[in-house]
Chains A and B, each alone.
Chain A
Amino acid sequence: MKDLKILAIISILVIITYIGIEPFAKHEMHGTVPPPDYNYLDLPKKELTGNPEQGKVLFKQNCASCHSVQADGISATMDKQTAQLSFKVVPPDLSNIASIIEPHFFAAFVKDPQSATKFPKFAMPGMSYLTDEQIGHIYSYLKSVAKPQEKLTGKDILHDACTRCHSVKYQKIKAQTDPKYLNDYLGKVPPDLSLMGKAKEEEYLATFISNPQVMLPGTSMPRLGLKQESAEKVIAYLDNIADPHKEERNKLGLWVLGYLVVLAGLTYAWKRKIWSNLH
């Protein structure tokens, strides 16, 4: 009985300390993470409709000098090296972009990338001369060539949305742009994403991806307008590669704990046996 009382006191003290140094201290240090905003409410909501054929023509006229659409056999006029030299970053292939980002973000982005991304140094020049109608055509063209969102994996989305600047060393993924240009473009080489799933909590990543300036004011990370599904898939992928043994661990844990419970039962029986002989 006395031993149980002591154990109870110790447990209470340990729990108080734990709450103090983990949840409480973390809350005091980081505050509450605001929820992610995947609706990009500050941008005007717009339905984007149009004609894919007209869109393809407009795409070739306005976008294809830098952007390729490999899914439709369109390659960019400018090769990677030249693009890297002039923009300090490789322009993305747009095959799947329509399935990855929100349509109204796309509309706002095409006209004024710097304010849509909240990153004043964003490399793409604005196409403010395009009308809403024209943007609708381009979007519906891109939509027609894109793989549907359900078919894109976290890794696919990461490839289209992140790896132009970020490397993922442990997965042997190199940033598409040479780090020395990125340093000029962003002021520093963006962090490697191999362990990001462990270095940051899921909530942080969600909010950071949907609105980087909220979590890290002044950061060079642009807002990319990902759909909620896209961001969630990327985060799940990052979690998975940062902690590849999670399933194995959880399963093995049960075995080990089960084993130890039996061991505790046996040692308890033996202890009672020995102590019952004492008088």
Chain B
Amino acid sequence: MKFIDWLDERLAIRQLMKVMLLEYYVPKNINFLWSFGVLIMLVLIILIVSGIFLLMYYKPDANLAFDSVNKTIMMDVEFGWLFRHVHAVGASIMFLVLFIHMGRGIYYGSFKPPRELVWLTGYFLFILMAATAFTGYLLPWGQMSYWAAQTITTLFEKIPVIGPDLVIWIRGNYIVADATLTRFFALHVVFLPLLLIFVTVVHLYAVRIVGSNNEDGIEIPKEEKKKKGIPFWPVFMSKEFFVMSVFLIFFFWLVFYKFDFAMDPINFTPANYLQTPPHIYPEWYFLAFYEVLRGFFFSQNLGLIAFVLSMLLPMFLPWIDKSPIKSGNHRPLFKIAFWIFVLDFIFLTVLGKLPPTGLYGWLGFVGSLVFFAFFIALPIISRIERKELERGGNKQ
């Protein structure tokens, strides 16, 4: 006990514990969807730890990278295959839990005042995670790694004036080559993770200041938080531990028996800059955005603008959806729009992997329009709801 007092005097750990865990109250009227933040933390830790062990044998060199992954790590290092499977499946599952976490935020209006910064930092984390995944995907230096990097970096070519020079600068070569691999490696293992960790801290801090949203979207005043809430530790976390262990069962089932979805067969052929594989597509978590890019198949520029918009629009949700009602539970119109959006996102994801010809081309176009329709519908729905509230007066 003495040691804790000693620490407390110097680091105020008791106060820290109170703010972060013991007297941080989580509302009672939340459901299992509120567990996904903790799951994201869990996956992030799994990714960092497994990544560190991959790093010990990986060689960021165009001549060595493929063999260092597929021979050294996968075949020679004891349990190397396990760390790689965990890392690959972890990256994929990270986006699953991220999407659910973000969907929860959209549905229950968790981005609305006073939580704009929670949403913004969270969305920034999503973009950072996407960049980390993209740079990391190049590292095994297989055919899919190579051509994914080649095509996505080519997108920058379309930027007016500076585009062509910018692409060469990003790649450090006229094509994706050794220089690209090495810089992507640096970004993937140092720069982006550091930034991710930093922004995560800000994100968690912001949540602790404004508190968690809840199913009804009705703010709990500070004085009542203790009465109407449960402490983060141990009550909320006791449930989280259970959710985490069930999640880990699913996760390791994938790692051991169903890892194929995270390891494309095409990527077991070494990168060859002279031959594009017959089908190339990004990993599943980018497919929806990729399909928006391809959806405007008649105009490359339009597609590119749409792609950028689709990645950036959700960030501005706090200013797009200004309805005074927070939770989707109490917003019948929004509910319909939300579910159409979710289904459309899945639809786009599936289409993103199919060849963009004939009917699929047109379906992609329609799907992309529906994607944007959601963001156009939100201000309209907000206005209708505001008017109804005014008319209903003190009804609710």
* Binding between chains A and B: yes
| Size class of the contact patch on chain A | 35 or more
Q: In the complex, what residues of A have CB within 8 A of residue B239's CB?
A: 271, 275
The segment out of B130-138, B186-194, B308-316, B348-356 that lies at the interface is: B348-356
- The answer to whether A271 touches B238, judged by C-beta atoms less than 8 angstroms apart, is yes
- The answer to whether B245 touches A267, judged by C-beta atoms less than 8 angstroms apart, is yes
The minimal Cβ–Cβ distance linking B137 to chain A, given in whole angstroms, is: 16
Q: In the complex, what residues of B have CB within 8 A of residue A275's CB?
A: 235, 238-239
Nearest-CB residue, chain A, relative to B253: A257
Max count, chain A CB within 10 A of own CB: residue among B342, B350, B354: B350
Q: Given A6-B31, A10-B100, A270-B241 in contact, is the A198-B265 Cβ separation under 8 Å?
A: yes
Q: Is A22 an interface residue (CB 8 A)?
A: yes
- The answer to whether B246 touches A25, judged by C-beta atoms less than 8 angstroms apart, is no
The minimal Cβ–Cβ distance linking B208 to chain A, given in whole angstroms, is: 21
- The answer to whether B82 touches A252, judged by C-beta atoms less than 8 angstroms apart, is yes
Q: How many residues of chain B are within 8 Å of chain A by beta carbon?
A: 47
Q: Given A21-B350, A244-B75, A270-B238 in contact, is the A13-B253 Cβ separation under 8 Å?
A: no
- The answer to whether A257 touches B256, judged by C-beta atoms less than 8 angstroms apart, is yes
Q: Is A278 an interface residue (CB 8 A)?
A: yes
Q: Is B56 an interface residue (CB 8 A)?
A: no
Q: In the complex, what residues of B have CB within 8 A of residue A201's CB?
A: 265
Q: Is B162 an interface residue (CB 8 A)?
A: no
Q: Given A250-B256, A257-B256 in contact, is the A6-B261 Cβ separation under 8 Å?
A: no
- The answer to whether A264 touches B96, judged by C-beta atoms less than 8 angstroms apart, is no
Q: Is B154 an interface residue (CB 8 A)?
A: no
Q: In the complex, what residues of A have CB within 8 A of residue B353's CB?
A: 20-21, 25, 29
- The answer to whether B268 touches A3, judged by C-beta atoms less than 8 angstroms apart, is no
Q: In the complex, what residues of A have CB within 8 A of residue B355's CB?
A: 28-29
Q: Is B242 an interface residue (CB 8 A)?
A: yes
Q: Is B81 an interface residue (CB 8 A)?
A: yes
- The answer to whether A16 touches B256, judged by C-beta atoms less than 8 angstroms apart, is no
- The answer to whether A199 touches B269, judged by C-beta atoms less than 8 angstroms apart, is yes
Max count, chain B CB within 10 A of own CB: residue among A16, A21, A24: A21
The minimal Cβ–Cβ distance linking A107 to chain B, given in whole angstroms, is: 36
CA distance A195 to B246 in the complex (A): 34
Which secondary structure dominates where chain A touches chain B?
helix
Q: In the complex, what residues of A have CB within 8 A of residue B32's CB?
A: 2-3, 6-7
- The answer to whether A264 touches B242, judged by C-beta atoms less than 8 angstroms apart, is yes
CA distance A86 to B268 in the complex (A): 34
Contact with A along B258-276 (1 / 0, CB 8 A): 0011000110110000000
Q: In the complex, what residues of B have CB within 8 A of residue A148's CB?
A: none
Q: Given A21-B287, A22-B261, A264-B245 in contact, is the A13-B342 Cβ separation under 8 Å?
A: yes
Max count, chain B CB within 10 A of own CB: residue among A14, A16, A170, A271: A271
Q: In the complex, what residues of B have CB within 8 A of residue A278's CB?
A: 230, 235
- The answer to whether A199 touches B268, judged by C-beta atoms less than 8 angstroms apart, is yes
- The answer to whether A249 touches B70, judged by C-beta atoms less than 8 angstroms apart, is no
Contact with A along B238-251 (1 / 0, CB 8 A): 11011011101100
- The answer to whether A17 touches B350, judged by C-beta atoms less than 8 angstroms apart, is yes
Nearest-CB residue, chain B, relative to A199: B268
Of A2, A24, A244, A253, which contacts B350 at CB under 8 A?
A24
- The answer to whether B257 touches A253, judged by C-beta atoms less than 8 angstroms apart, is yes
Q: Is B387 an interface residue (CB 8 A)?
A: no
CA distance A51 to B246 in the complex (A): 69
Q: Is B163 an interface residue (CB 8 A)?
A: no
Q: Is B228 an interface residue (CB 8 A)?
A: no
New A-B pairs, 5, CB < 8 Å, besides A24-B350, A267-B238 = A21-B349, A198-B268, A249-B81, A264-B245, A271-B242
11 CB < 8 A contacts A-B: A2-B31, A7-B32, A10-B100, A194-B71, A199-B266, A242-B268, A252-B256, A253-B257, A257-B249, A271-B241, A274-B238
CB-based closest 5 A-B pairs: A253-B256, A20-B350, A3-B32, A25-B353, A199-B268
